[in-house]
Structure 1
Amino acid sequence: MDKQTISRDGTPLAYRRTGQGPTVVLVSGAMSTGATVAPLAARLCDDFGVIVYDRRGRGGSGDTAPYAVAREVEDLAALIEAAGGEAALYGVSSGGALALEAAASGLPVRRVAVYETPFADYGGGADERAEYTRNLTEALAQGRRGDAVALFLALTGLAPEMIANARQSPMWAGMEAIAPTLAYDNAVMGDGLVPRDRLASVTVPVLAVAGDASPTWLRRATEAVADAAPEGRYRVLEDQNHMVDPQALAPVLADFFGA
């Protein structure tokens, strides 16, 4: 990241802008930094000025206690202001919940696209999310960052043996380093269910995208987001799962953001 802006509470935010044209801010999900969405930015920058950034507590960005979802909305407000005062947003996974909340909060957002925001209405539901919240809060309070990461990976459906193998991988230290931000993404997801009342207040066009190779519950949750937004639409990408290929997604986003 080669640029920095300051959020309302004084937190420095590292970001990079590539390309020219209308601004699009890419919002990463849990256990990720701006680098995660950089390949998508590379496929959009011919038509848009694309911003990737490290969410607070990750990468080159700072962090300021206490955390609140409203602070992350203010982070997006600071980035949008730095980019000229208006932007479209794209959020992947839990980053989609943050992008939608930013739009519902009245930020100068012209369009919002999300990919498979994992609301659990059709999966484990609120009870599973509540148990995850309890266990995650306890693990982080006790400094058990590795256990916090393992809890998250289990929530995503990763098998125990795969989690055990991941603990031995070179990537594990980096995952532990940003483990405290799992609480941030958990807060962004609320009670884990589609926030229909909140989405009803989003007045800009919303595109909710899912992959046809993803679990049925995730596709249904994505469709529910589109149904709840007054100007929502739903799109399914062939041969894609939660780890969506930027090459498949970029043309869909370009059409939507360029409309």
Structure 2
Amino acid sequence: MSTFTNIQPSPLTTGSVISSDGTTIGYRQMGHCPALILLHGANTSGLDFTQLAGGLADLFTIYLPDRRGRGLSGPFSKHYALQEEVNDLTALVNKTGARLLYGMSAGGLICLQASLNLPSIQKMALYEPALFLDGTAHTSWLNRFDQQMAQGEVAAALVTCMKGLELGGPAMNAMPDWLLKALTNAAMKGEDKKAGPESVTMRKLAPTLHYDGLLLAEMSGQLDRFRAVSAEVMLLGGSKGLPFLKPSLDALEKTLPHVAGRVEFPGLEHGGSNNPSQTNRGSKPELVAQELRQFFSRP
């Protein structure tokens, strides 16, 4: 079997599927059968999984959808709820015949929920699925975020979200908001200058955080519904991942009927399977790809 380091890059092609409400869901594709869908989390797009996909494309046909509101996909509806995302994923599963799913953070929640009505899904790997056990403790930032976005204060809104979700840890929480806003503005401007036509930048992604916040709030405390998941599940996370999601992984490990194992990657953070970037320097998608290759290849 090949290893991640000697795999030759596979060309990306694009396609789309129509969700149940008529919305176009675009995706990128590489590799060879069987089909494996990689579903990204908040504040990212399918493009953030290209390195992870490259480590899997010699064994699988990889599908990298842009969740709605991002990149190749159409807009959110006025009555957004989790079911909208589930319908989008279901449409792609039905088109591709995929029986394998990988979901990261909010994408992991969508995979879990979709699998309840998709008995064809045989295996799922979930990296720190953003299931909150503590009510609205980590979604109370949403109203302030919405107000700042409505006022055009994108950097301030991003800081509100990052602090609300504790994405920066104690160091970020100790920094004054004015400094964080200045740093975020500088990062956005630098990214905008380098952005190509297909780039899905922080500025473009910022409005989507409203919908991810709604999704996280809707799913908070909904652990018991996943007792009915029939797929075999591998649970993944990073030793430097979000601390408040480790109890969620513990709870899912006890609740899901068919847990194939749990892996904690030393030194990896919440975005450990995403492409390395200016804001995600410590990621190592090659490590996650190695684990996924083994899990999804096993009979």
Query: What range is the shorter-chain TM-score in?
Result: 0.7 to 0.9
Q: Which residue of 2 aligns with 1:156?
A: 166
Are 1:106 and 2:118 an aligned pair? yes
How far off its partner does 1:236 sit?
A: 1.4
Q: Is the 8 A contact 1:153 1:163 kept in 2?
A: no
How far off its partner does 1:127 sit?
A: 4.1
Superposed CA offset, 1:155-179 (max 9, x none): 2333243453022222576323222
Q: Which residue of 2 aligns with 1:166?
A: 184
Map 1:62-101 → 2, pairs under 5 A: 62-66=74-78, 67-83=80-96, 85-101=97-113
Q: Which residue of 1 aligns with 2:140?
A: 131
Distance 1:239 1:146 in 2: 28
The answer for unaligned runs of 5 or more in structure 1 is none
Superposed CA offset, 1:182-210 (max 9, x none): 12222332356453212111111111111
Superposed CA offset, 1:40-95 (max 9, x none): 01101111111001110001211142222111111111111221x33211111221
Superposed CA offset, 1:108-141 (max 9, x none): 32211111123344xxx33422422333344445
The answer for unaligned runs of 5 or more in structure 2 is 1-12, 193-200, 273-283
Q: Is the 8 A contact 1:212 1:219 kept in 2?
A: no
Q: Which residue of 2 aligns with 1:213?
A: 240
Between stretches 5-14 and 193-202, larger displacement belongs to 193-202
Q: Which residue of 2 aligns with 1:239?
A: 267
How far off its partner does 1:144 sit?
A: 4.5
Q: How many residues align?
A: 255
Q: Counterpart of 1:105 in 2: which secondary structure?
A: coil
The two structures, once aligned, show a CA RMSD in angstroms of 2.3
Distance 2:87 2:130 in 1: 23
Between stretches 138-147 and 184-193, larger displacement belongs to 138-147
Q: Is the 8 A contact 2:235 2:263 kept in 1?
A: yes
Q: Which residue of 2 aligns with 1:34?
A: 46
Shift >6 Å, 4+ stretches: none
Query: Of residues 239, 250, 255 in structure 1, which corresponds to 2:294?
Result: 255
Identity of aligned residues (%): 29
> Which structure's CA Rg is the greater one?
2
Residue type at the aligned position of 1:133: L
Q: Is the 8 A contact 1:54 1:60 kept in 2?
A: yes
